[in-house]
Amino acid sequence: MDLHRVVLRLGASFFPELTNLVEFHGFQVLKPWESHLTLDSFLASHCRAVRALLVTGLVLVDAALLGNLPSLGLIVTTSVGVNHIDLPVCRSRGIVVAGAGDAFTGDAAEYTVGLLLDVLRRISASDRLLRGGVRGGPPLACKPWESHLSLDAFLASHCCAVRALLVSSLVHVDDAILEKLPSLGVIVTTSAGVSHIDLQACRRKGIVVTNAGDAFTGDAADYAVGLLLDVLRRVSASDRLFRGGFRGCPLLACQVAGKRVGIVGLGRIGSATARRLQAFGCIISYTSRTMKPSVPFTFFTNVRDLAAQSDVLMLTCALTEETHYIVNKEVLAALGKNGVVINVGRGALIDEKELVRSLVHGEIGGAGLDVFENEPKVPEELLHMNNVVLSPHKAVATLESQKGVCDLTVANLIAFFENKPLSSVWPKVWRLGRPVVAARIEMDEQRSVLLLGTSSFEGFTGLLEESHGFQVLEPWESHLPLDAFLATHCIAVQALLVSGAIMVDGSLLENLPSLKIVVTTSAGVMHIDLPACRSSGTIVLKPWESHLTLDAFLSSHFRAVRSVLVYGLIPIDRALLQKLPSLGVVVTTSIGLDHIDLPACWSRGIIVANSGDSYTEDAADYAVGLLLDVLRRISASERLLRRGVRGDVPLACRVGGKRIGIVGLGRIGSAIARRLEAFGCIISYTSRTKKPLVPFTFFTNVLDLAAEVDALVLACTLTEETHHIVDKEVLSALGRKGVVINIGRGPLVDEKELVSRLVAGEIGGAGLDVFEDEPNAPVELFRLDNVVLSPHAAVHSDEARQKMCNLIVANLIAFFENKPLSCVRRTVLLLRRDPFKDLAGPLESHGFCVIKPWESHLTLDAFLASHGGAVRALVVPGLFPIGKALLQHLPSLGLILLTSNGHNHVDLPACRRRGIFVTTVGNSYTDEVADYAVGLLLDLLRRVSASERLLRQRIPKAEPPLACRVGGKRVGIVGLGRIGSAIARRLEAFGCIISYTSRTKKPLVPFTYFANVLDLAAEADAIVLTCALTEETHHIVDKEVLSALGRKGVVINVGRGALVDEKELVRSLVEGEVGGAGLDVFENEPDVPLELLRLDNVVLSPHAAVLSEESVEAMCDHVVANLIAFFQNKPLSSVMEEGRTVLLLCRSPFKDFAGPLESHGFCVLKPWESHLPLDAFLASHGGAVRALVVPGLSPIGEALLQHLPSLGLILLTSSGHNHVDLPACRSRGILVATVGNSCTDDVVDYAVGLLLDLLRRVSASERLLRQRIPKADPPLACRVGGKRVGIVGLGRIGSAIARRLEAFGCIISYTSRTKKPLVPCTYFGNVLDLAAEADAIVLTCALTEETHHIVDKEVLSALGRKGVVINVGRGALVDEKELVTSLVEGEVGGAGLDVFENEPDVPPELFRLDNVVLSPHAAPLSEECLEAMCDHIVANLIAFFENKPLSSVVD
C-alpha cells in the first residue's frame, strides 16, 4: 500500500459505497469507528500517514483536530457548505478544502419544493394523523349538521321540502336516498368526481347533477406532485425519524429529474400535473380514453404498456366500470421493483390488496396514496412502511379550493332556484333506438352541417360519446314506459339522436321543452315532423341519403347549410354551390381537390379544407407495398397457392438497386422516397420545381424520368397539366421491364394505353390503387398476374381515419367559432410576372397555390372578380399600384408582400382599415443598394461610363474627360437608415467626409448632423438620397437645395424619383448649375427625361440598384418565410405600418418621440399634424392603432379607449399611472407600461436639489442677486447635515433619495405600505407620526385613493413651523389649499414643489414667498432621462410586437 495515498474518513456510515469506491482507486481508507481506540488515540497513532481527510456529513473539523494531522494536505467534504471546517487554519497550513460542488443542486431544489408542498399542503401532518389512527375528514372539511334524529327519520320529516341536495364525495347518494326526496331537482357535489352518486337513478328522476368543475384542478395537481416528491425524496419518512429523535444518516432518496412519469387520465388534473412535472425535468407519457392531438407526450393505449415504460404511475382519472382496478397485479408487475404509484383519483382505481402485497414483498418501490378503496379505512400494513406516504383524501383541501367550491355551489343553487343555467352540469344527448351510425351534431341554426357521400364514420360516434363528454340517455334500459321516461327527463334533454324510423311528431316534441336539435341516422326524414321542428326552433340534420333527388333535397335545406362535408370524390361544382347561398366552408376527406370547383369557391370566398397530411404515411406505405407486391409477385403467388398450385412460383425481382422515379415530390412523394431509400433503391424525381435541399436527381419532365428508371411512382395531384401525364410516349420510354405504380388519381395515366401495353407485354407490370373511371376497373387487368389492383384503399387505415375524423371535427368547430382552419388551401396572388425571378416556382414548391393572372385571357378586373375571393396573400413584384379599387376585389386578403423596400405605391390607410398586413423585403437589398450608390458616385466622379462610351465610339485621339478624386469629398447622406449607414461605411473607407440629415439625430453616429437638406447641401460636394418617399420628402431636393449644392455638386439618387424635383434637376444639369447626377430612379418611371440622355455628366440606370442574384434570392426567401409565418399565425418580418401602428397622443415639448419610433420601423400617427379634431382623427385611424404612447399626463379614459378597438399596449412617459383608467384597460386586456426606473436618478437628484435649495436658500439668494438689491443680506440658511428627513414611499425613488441624503449626514425615517425588512431606517406606520419626528418630509409615493391628500392640515401641524415639504410625486398628495395657508401664515418652514394639484396651474400666493421653490414638473427632465425613456419605450414596443415580455408593466 502506498503510504502517500492514506485517507482518513470521519463521519458515520453515510454513503457506505463511498469507502468502497475510494479503496477501489488504490487509496487506503482509515475508519476510526472500526477501532477500539478513542478518536484522539486513533489520530495519534496514524497522524503522520494521513494525507487526505474525507468528511461525511457535518463532522466538526477544528484547529484541535487539524493539529493532530501534521501531514494533511487535502480535506474533501461530502457537503456543499464548509461552515463545519476551520477555514482560516486550513489556509494558514496550505490545506486545500473541496466541497461537493453542484452535485446536490437538483436534489436540494427538489427537496425544497417538496418541503414547501409538505408544509403548505400538510402532507406529513396528514400522514401522521392517519398513522396515529385518526380517520376523520381533512382539517378543512365542514362539520355536518347535528340532529337527534336518525338519517331516515330526518329525511322523512323534511322530504317534501328538499329541492336541492349538497353532498361531499364521502356521502353515497343511491336510489334509496333519492326515493325519500320526491321534490329533489338538483344534486350539488363538492367533489370533482361523481362516482358516489347513482347517475342512472338521477337520470330516471330528471335530477340535475353538478360537480366542482375545475375548482380542484390546481390543488390536486399540486398534491400529486407533492406526494411524488415526498415518496421519492423521503420527506415524510425523514420528518418522522427526526421528530422521533433520530439524528443518524438521512434516508437515501431518489432524484426526481429524469424520472419517467406515466399519467393515467390526461384530463385537467392530469395535464396540470404534467406541466408541473415537466419543470422538474421528468419525462411524461400517458394513457387516456383517446389520444390528445396537441399533446407532446408519448401516448399508450393501455395502462400495462404505460407502466412497463414508467418509473412512476400517476392516477388522476375518474372511476368508472372500465377504470375499476385499472392498476392490478399485472400492471404492478410491469411497473417493477423500483416503480412508484401515486393515486389522487379514487381508491378503487387500484386493486388495494395487490398493492399492499406488492409493497410488503418489495415488488414495487413505494406509493403515495390520498385515496383508499374502503375510505376512511386504511390497510394496517401500510402504516408501518417508510416507502409509503398516506393522506386522508385531502388533495383538494385548501382554503382557496374550498372557497372556489363554495362559490360555485352557492351560484349553482341560486341558479337552480332562479331557473337559470347551471355550471359544471354533465351535457346530455338523448338517444331513441339503437343507432348504428351517428351524424355530426351542431347545436344552433348557424352551425348546420350537410353530409354528402356514403361512409360509416364510426369515428364521429366515438368523438360524441367520449371526446366531447356527452352523456347518452337510453330509454330501453329503463323499466319506465316511454311517456313516463320522457316526463322524468324532459327538462334535461337538449339533443335527440334518432336511430331508424322512430316517429318524432308534435306530441313527442311537446314533451321535450329544452330540445334544440334532432339528429337522425336514417336516409329519409319522413318520420320527423319538420314543420313542428321548425316552429319550435329545433334543427334537423339529415345524413347523406334521401328519397329526394339531390336538387330537391338542397332546395329544401339550402338556407341552413353553412358547411359541406364531402366524403370521397363527389364533385362539388358551380351548380351545386349556387344552391347553397349560406355556404362558408367545404371540408373534404380527400387530399386532392380536383373534384371541387375551386374558382367557383374562390369567387364566393368559400374556404376549402382537405385532410392535410392525415393520409401521408398510409399512402406512402401503400405505394411501397404495391411496388413490393408487383416486383416480388406476392399477390400472384398467393393466388396460385389458394388455387392449390404447389409448383414453381413466378420468378420475382429484387427491389434493392432498382431505379425509382417519383412523379410529385410533395409530402407523400417524399415519404415514399424515404422508405425506398431504406431498401437501397436509387431515387430520382420530377416535380413542378426542383427541391433545393433534396439529394435525389431531378428531371424536368416525366418522359426523361421514365427513360432513366425501372419503376414510375405517381404521387402528384391531378390538374389540367398532369392529366394523362403518363401517356404512350412515357410508357414506351419506361420499357418492357418498367413498372407503373399509381396512388394519385386515375386520369394521371392514359388507361387505355396502359392496358394495351400490359396485355401486349410491352411494360413489366403495374400496381394501381386508382382508375380513370372509378369505381370501374378495366376487365382486361383482372386476368393479368403482373398487375396488382386495389379499390382506392391506399389511405384506408384505422389511424388515418381517426386522424382524418379529428381534423374534420376540429375544422368544423374552428369554422363556426371563427378561428383559423387547418389544411386550408394557401392561395397567393402573384400580381404579375417578375422579369428577374420566377417567384411562382419557390412558392409552389412550398405548397402554396399560386394564382397567375397573366396566364389568363381575362382582364385583371375580370380575373380578380372570378378568383379574388380565395386570395389570402398578395405578392407585388415591382411598384405595381395597390389601391382601394384593387383591394375591393380581394375580400379575404390578409397580407400584402412587397418586393421593394418602399411602400408609397400601396394605399396604407385602406390596408389599415381592412386589417391587412403589409411587409417589405426588409434588409434583403441593403448591401446591393449601398454598393450601387457608391458605384454611381464613383462612375460619376471618375467618368467611368463617359470614358467607356468614348472608347466604344472609337473617336480617334479623343481625350478622356477629366475626373475627380473621391477621397476627401464631403458626402451628405439624406436618410441614415440601413442603406444610408451602409453607404457611409463604404465611403469612409475611400476617405470621404460623411455628414447626414435624417428625421432624428442618431445618438451613436460619429458623423456631422444637419437638421435639414438645405444646410447639408451647402456643406457637401455630393448628396446621396436613400430616404423613403413620403409627403414630407416629396421634392426634398428642389431648386434651393440644388443651388446650395453648387456648380461642382453631385446628386446620387437610389431612393425614389420623386425625392428630386426632376424638372429643376434637368434644368440645373443642362445649364451647368450642378456638376452631375447618378440616377437609378426617376419621377415618372419608366420614362427618363430625354435631355439627360445627351449629357456626359449623368449616369443613368433603370431602377437596377436592388438587382443582384443574391438580393433576388434573399428577397424570394424573405417572401416565402413571411408567407409561411402568415399561414401559421406567427410573427412576420419587416411589417409596415398596419402591424406596427403607434399613436403618439400629443407632441412632447421636450423630446421628439416620433423620430426614434419611425427609425425603428413603426408607423407613428400624429394627431396634431391633422386638421381634424382628435375624435374625428381617431374615428378615421383608430382601428389600426396597436400601441399608444402618452407623453405627459394626458388622461386616458374609457371614451378615448373606445376609439381604439385594436389597442393592446399603452406606454406612459411617466412613472405614475393615475391618469389612466386601469380598470377599463384590464377589462380590455390592454397592457399599461410606465417608464420604470428610466427617470429614477433624475427625480432623486431633483428632490435632493429642491431640499438643498430650500434649506440653503439658493434660489432666494439668486433672485436677490439678479434683482441687484444694494447691500441686501442673503437670507439665513439651514445646514442640511443632521436634519431628520422623513420619506413618504420608500420605493425605487425613495430609497435612492435616502442613500443620497445619508451621505449628507441626514437621519432618515420613512413610511410606506409595508415595512422594508432590510432597511436600517426608522419605520413609522403613518405619515402623521413620521411628520411629528421629522424636519422635512419628501413625497415620492404613487397617487391612489389612499394617498390622496395624505399631507393634510393635521400632518402640516405635526411638521411644525420649521418643517419643510418636498413633493416630487403627484400634486394631489398634498392638500394644496392647506399648504398654501400654512406657508402664508408661517405655520410650516417652506416647500419645494415640482408638482401641483391642478397642473399646470400654480397657486399665485406661492409666487410671492421666498421660502418656496417651484418647478414645472421638471424633475424627470434631463437629456439622459429623456433618452433612456425613449429607449425604454422603443424596447417595449419592439417586445410587444414580437410577443416578448415587456418591462415595467403595471399590475
Tell me the DSSP string of 741-764: EE-S-GGGB-HHHHHHHHHHT-S-
Q: Is 1171 a catalytic residue?
A: no
Q: Is 568 left (phi over 0), alpha (psi -120 to 50) or beta?
A: left
Tell me the DSSP string of 357-383: HHHHTTSS-EEEES--TTTT---GGGG
Query: C-alpha cell of 1039?
Result: 431648386
Name the active-site residue from 203, 204, 304, 393.
393
3-state secondary structure 853-892: HHHCCCCHHHHHHHHHHHCCEEEECCCCCECHHHHHCCCC
E strand spans, 635-791: 659-663, 682-686, 697-698, 711-714, 739-742, 765-768, 787-789
Contact (CB, 8 A) for 11 and 30? no
- Amino acid at position 609, single letter: A
Provide the 10 A C-beta neighbour count for residue 518. 25
Q: Which residues contact 859 (CB under 8 A, 6 or more apart)?
A: none
Give the Cα separation of 440 and 651 in Å (integer).
Answer: 51
Tell me the DSSP string of 190-211: SSS--TTB-HHHHHHHT-EEE-
Beta bridge partners, 899, equal none
Contact (CB, 8 A) for 39 and 32? yes
Give the Cα separation of 705 and 1291 in Å (integer).
Answer: 75
CB neighbour burial string for 1202-1214, b if at least 16 within 10 angstroms, e if fewer: ebbeebebbbbbb
Give the Cα separation of 1213 and 1429 in Å (integer).
Answer: 7
Beta strand pairing call for 917-919 and 1135-1136 = antiparallel
Give the Cα separation of 1330 and 1337 in Å (integer).
Answer: 8
Query: C-alpha cell of 1318?
Result: 432590510
Q: Which of 1218, 1169, 1155, 1212 is nearest to 1187 (CA)?
A: 1212
Q: Which of 1057, 1014, 1067 is nearest to 1035 (CA)?
A: 1057
Name the active-site residue from 196, 363, 375, 1073.
375
- Amino acid at position 604, single letter: R
Q: Which of 459, 719, 682 is nearest to 589 (CA)?
A: 459
User: In what helix (H) or strand (E) does residue 384 lie, and over which residues does it extend?
Assistant: none
Q: Which of 270, 275, 283, 352 is nearest to 312 (CA)?
A: 283
Distance in Å from the first CA to the final CA of the chain = 69
Only one residue has cell 411501397, namely 624
Classify 513 as helix, strand or coil. Answer: coil
Q: Is 346 a catalytic residue?
A: yes
Half-sphere exposure of 746 (CA within 13 A, CB side): 19
Only one residue has cell 407600461, namely 1233
Classify 1201 as helix, strand or coil. Answer: helix
Query: C-alpha cell of 978?
Result: 440601413
Crossing angle of helices 105-121 and 235-243, in 10° steps, is 70
Name the active-site residue from 346, 557, 1186, 1432.
346
Q: Work out whether the CA dihedral 573, 577, 578, 579 comes out positive or negative.
A: positive
Q: Is 48 a catalytic residue?
A: no
Give the Cα separation of 925 and 144 in Å (integer).
Answer: 77
Indicate which residues carry an active-site annotation.
346, 375, 393
